[in-house]
Amino acid sequence: MAVQTKLHSAITESTVRKLLSDLTSLYLKHRTNVSRALYLSLFVALLNRIRNAIAEQKAAAAQSKRQVPPVKTPDGKPKKVELNREFFRSLLRLLKIVIPGWRSQELRLLISQSIFLVVRTLLSLYVAELDGKLVSSLVKRRGQAFLTGLAWWMVVAVPATFTNSMLSYHQCKLALQYRTRLISHIHSKYLSNMTFYSLSAIDDRIKNADHLITADVTKFSNSLAELYSNLAKPVLDMTIYNYSLSRAVGGEGLFALGLIVQVSASLMRALTPPFGKYVADEARLEGEFRFQHGRLIDFAEEIALYFGHEAEKDTLDKGYFTLIKHVNRILRRRFWHGFMEDYVIKYFWSAMGLLLCSVPVFVRLPGEGRTTGGDRTGGKWLDTRQRIR
């Protein structure tokens, strides 16, 4: 009986191994098609994410319209403040003012900034690869290669720091150019046909024109200069990093990592307490505590006449300890939320990235020859790990 049981388990184990081998062979045979299908799925998921974000924004705008009285325009019509066609039409009119033509200095600055953004991303990839080679040299105990890589590290630091400084310079220069264009345009309109007199003496629809021209134009110019960099950098980094990562571990690995990140991010979002409501409640309790002290000053004579200081002390203590109890509750919630966030982002995602990077080390993919552990460290493992971070 024991012999039959061992024979049956051996047959089952061999069958499972054969099935896994057949599935692996089938997957490796169609790996290219699988990667393409996963790339397409990622693209569709990104489009769906954008569509859901737009739908959420419209729902939030509709909810705010039902709760908050609408802002009125000078002619009495309700003004819509949202990302709609009117917003993009107004933004386009302003962009035509700050970037008047194809040969303008502002457009040249934008092109130059785009080039430096690409250079910074490529330098980041090279620095990650160089970091992997340095660790590979340490693993192999190659002192000369390590010193050479360290020298290259110091050399590459020069264009890397120069690129970061140039990006900051371009952003400040763009903000200054935008402000100059807007101020010139506003001055030409404001100081022609007695417009300044009409705004101050006849038409009061635009108030505080001096503040709008001096302060708000500056804020808008700085925000507009930051907008391009804040939008272009993540898109560029995501495109180049994902492309490099897909070459190292394949589209299926990239899809798996993206799926894990999205699932864990959705879980964190579901478990995140409503800190906005907590802050609003804290502000309300602060206001009530301040009102109680103001009330004590307003009715100081009556309270002293009737010896009500003990009752007022109890009221003030109750208001203060209610506030402190709520603040302590927020602190506890933030503690556990910060613990969860740091664990997931810093350690769980890093562990998943390391697991993904281990695939080329422990699994021989088609088209790749055998390499040593040090070569893997320098070429794939740490390189890809740095890209994920």
Give the tokens for residue 202.
């006849």
pLDDT tens, position by position, 47-69: 887 777 777 666 666 665 555 45
Report the distance separating Cα 172 and Cα 170, nearest Å: 6
pLDDT at residue number 62? 65
- Looking at residue 330, what is its pLDDT? 92
| Mean pLDDT across 276-286 | 90
H or E stretch at 72? strand 71-72
Query: pLDDT grade, residue 378 (50/70/90)?
Result: very low
| Average pLDDT over every residue of 355-370 | 62
Q: Which of 388, 312, 387 is nearest to 123 (CA)?
A: 387
Q: Tokens 């099935």 sit at which residue? A: 19
Say how far apart CA 91 and CA 231 lie, in whole Å.
16
| Mean pLDDT confidence for 76-80 | 51
Residue-range domain boundaries for the chain: 1-74
Question: What's at 93, amino acid-wise?
Answer: R
Measured CA angle at 296 (ends 290, 302), to 5 deg: 160
The alpha carbon of residue 357 and the mean position of all alpha carbons in its chain are separated, in whole angstroms, by: 24
Using DSSP, state whether 68 is helix, strand or coil.
coil
> Residue 388 — pLDDT band, cuts 50, 70, 90?
very low
pLDDT value for 68:
47
Q: Is the pLDDT of residue 41 over 80?
A: no
Q: How confident is the model at residue 201 (pLDDT cuts 50, 70, 90)?
A: low
DSSP notation for 338-380? HHHHHIIIIIIHHHHHHHHHTHHHHS--TT-----HHHHIIII
Structure confidence at residue 383 as a pLDDT band (50, 70, 90): very low
> Per the confidence metrics, is the pTM higher than 0.85?
no
Cβ atoms < 10 Å from Cβ of 354 = 13
The larger pLDDT score, comparing residue 378 to residue 124, is at 124
pLDDT of 346 reads 85
Of 72-81, 83-92, 108-117, 188-197, the least confident: 72-81
- Of residues 70 and 322, the one with the higher pLDDT is 322
pLDDT at 187: 86
Q: Which amino acid is at 90?
A: S
Q: Would you state the pLDDT for residue 245?
A: 73
The full length of the chain comes to 389
Residue given tokens 């010139």 in the structure block: 184
- Mean pLDDT rounded to a whole number for the chain: 78
Tell me which residue of 186, 171, 188 sits closest to 225, measured CA to CA. Answer: 171
What digits encode the pLDDT tens for the residues 314-345? 988 999 999 999 999 999 999 999 999 889 88
pLDDT of residue 303: 83
| Residue position matching structure tokens 């299908």 | 37
Q: Which residue has the tokens 């999205």?
A: 262
User: What pLDDT was estimated at residue 67?
Assistant: 52
Give the residue, 249 or 166, on which the prediction is more confident: 166
d(CA 360, CA 354): 11
Task: Please say whether the beta carbons of 116 and 160 come within 8 A.
Answer: no
